[in-house]
Amino acid sequence: MSTESKKLPMAGDQQDPECCSTKDITVEYTDPVNANWVTGSLETKAGLIYRVATTLDRQDLLGSVKARWGIGRMNYTVTPGLYAIGDPDLLSPVLVSANYKLSFDYLRRELGGLNLWILVLDTKGINVWCAAGKGSFGTAELIRMINQSRLEKLVSHRTLILPQLAAPGVSAHRVRKEIGYKVVYGPVRAADIPSFLNEGNKADQAMRHPSFNLIDRLTLTTVELTALFKPIAILTIFLFLLNLASMSFKSESASLVSLLEHTFSDLAPFIIAALIGTILVPALLPYIPGRALAWKGWVLGVIWVFVYTTVFAVPSGWLQTTAYFLTLPIIPAFLGMNYTGSTTYTSLSGVVKEMNYALPLIIVSAGLGLTALIGAYFI
């Protein structure tokens, strides 16, 4: 990126008043002239337009890895505006995209050998589906960007191809009525765009359904793992203090080493329960019985407690075993419940119903379990 980059005027103007999630976010955009993915420029009637690479380089891949680990994820953006793929002309298709850099990368790497325009909306660095759900990839933003980019000077047709998952935010007939552009919903996956264009802007059923296979289900695992660091750190301190108190209560003399050994062996089943919730629940999702995701997590958690208490034969008494049954399964249950946000098939009404059942049970189980756990250290 350029060090002397100038601010472009699109940052933060005219925002959708309906949208709570993005109204407070102002993203500052810079002229992408020196961006690694810009390979040249075109002088057009609508002004200077950058040509975009259709291959990803090391910098793009490194950026993806960082975003997937939650580093600078909310700031991983593409400057909104018009871009060119290949050598587009008056008749070339216009694709519309979000300005999350990962979304943009997934799109452009599928477009090698094609000639078309890409209109990048200002979705505040949020991906297509989430931005559409919140309205920042919406009718108002689309109309604003069409006007601002002077698209009418660039193409003679009036057809826009939007990703299908933008449909929750965009009202196609309203766009048509207000500025005369016809919105065509393209495929869910960018990889299907070349065949969609070949077929004369037709998507088949398979192109219209978001896949949710093993790899899709584990896509956000890395981000979820980073969210575990803080609770695990707090739990570590808690278990350390508990061991310390227990040893002084029982008047046992203990070295720091044995204290730490106890702490970490006590911590292990909790960390594994958390990993089960973050990795195994998504991975085994279609195979775990039941529908509610908290339930699915809880089932795996109970299996883990059985394995831990029988195969490893760790607990030293009934109180500790009880404590494990009450505290361990609720961890993957809670994480499973939170995983609803990463799925392609959960509705808000369903999530609210699930939470109304699961949250009180989780809280009661946590309260009783922690009491039992603390008790087990002192008897």
Partner 1 sequence: MKFSYLKNVVTLRLDQSKCNGCGRCTEVCPQQVFAIKNKVSYIIDRDACLECSACAKNCPQEAIYVRQGVGCAYAVLMDKLNIKGKCCGDACGCSLDNIPDS
Contact footprint for partner 1 (CB under 8 A)? 18, 20-22, 24-25, 74, 124, 126, 130-134, 136, 164-165, 167-173, 185, 188, 203, 205, 208-210, 212-213, 223, 285-286, 291-293, 337-341, 343-356
Nearest residue (CB) to partner 1, 158 versus 208? 208
Conformational region of residue 201, where left means phi above 0, alpha means psi within -120 to 50, and beta covers everything else: left
Which strand ranges, in their side-by-side order, compose the sheet holding 116-120? 38-44, 47-52, 81-85, 116-120, 94-97, 159-162, 182-185
Rg (CA), the chain: 26
| CB of residue 103 to partner 1, shortest distance in Å | 12
Nearest residue (CB) to partner 1, 49 versus 293? 293
| CB of residue 243 to partner 1, shortest distance in Å | 31
The amino acid that residue 219 corresponds to is T
CB neighbourhood size of 156 (10 A): 10
Nearest residue (CB) to partner 1, 51 versus 208? 208
| CB of residue 197 to partner 1, shortest distance in Å | 17
Nearest residue (CB) to partner 1, 154 versus 293? 293
Nearest residue (CB) to partner 1, 80 versus 88? 80
The amino acid that residue 202 corresponds to is K
| CB of residue 346 to partner 1, shortest distance in Å | 3
DSSP class of residue 295 equals: H
DSSP string, 69-97: TTSSGGG-B---EEEEESS--TTS-EEEE
32: closest CA among 15, 46, 51?
51
| CB of residue 192 to partner 1, shortest distance in Å | 13
Q: Which residues contact residue 74 at a Cβ distance below 8 angstroms, ignoring those fewer than 6 apart? A: 125
Question: Tokens 């570590």 map to which residue?
Answer: 236
DSSP class of residue 341 equals: G
Nearest residue (CB) to partner 1, 49 versus 358? 358
Beta strands in the chain (DSSP E): 38-44, 47-52, 81-85, 94-97, 116-120, 159-162, 182-185
Nearest residue (CB) to partner 1, 15 versus 243? 15
| CB of residue 49 to partner 1, shortest distance in Å | 28
Token pair listed for 356: 């109304």
| CB of residue 94 to partner 1, shortest distance in Å | 19
111: closest CA among 43, 186, 164?
186
